[in-house]
Amino acid sequence: LHVELRRGETFERIHRETLSQLPGVTRLASHFVIREVVTR
């Protein structure tokens, strides 16, 4: 499953309320990439 989100709070909510509640899910691994784009 690949999920892209703009805010960390959104991920925390989805992780807690949805992903961890799926049948058969015993372990979750998360990887974050933080990137800042500057427009000048």
pLDDT digits (tens, 9 = 90+) for 1-40: 777 777 777 888 888 898 889 999 889 888 877 777 787 7
Structure tokens at 6: 């703009």
pLDDT at 4: 79
- pTM of the predicted model as reported, rounded to 2 decimal places: 0.53
pLDDT at 15: 86
Structure tokens at 26: 């015993």
Q: What are phi and psi of 12, to 5 degrees?
A: -60, -45
Structure tokens at 4: 């892209």
Structure tokens at 30: 């998360």
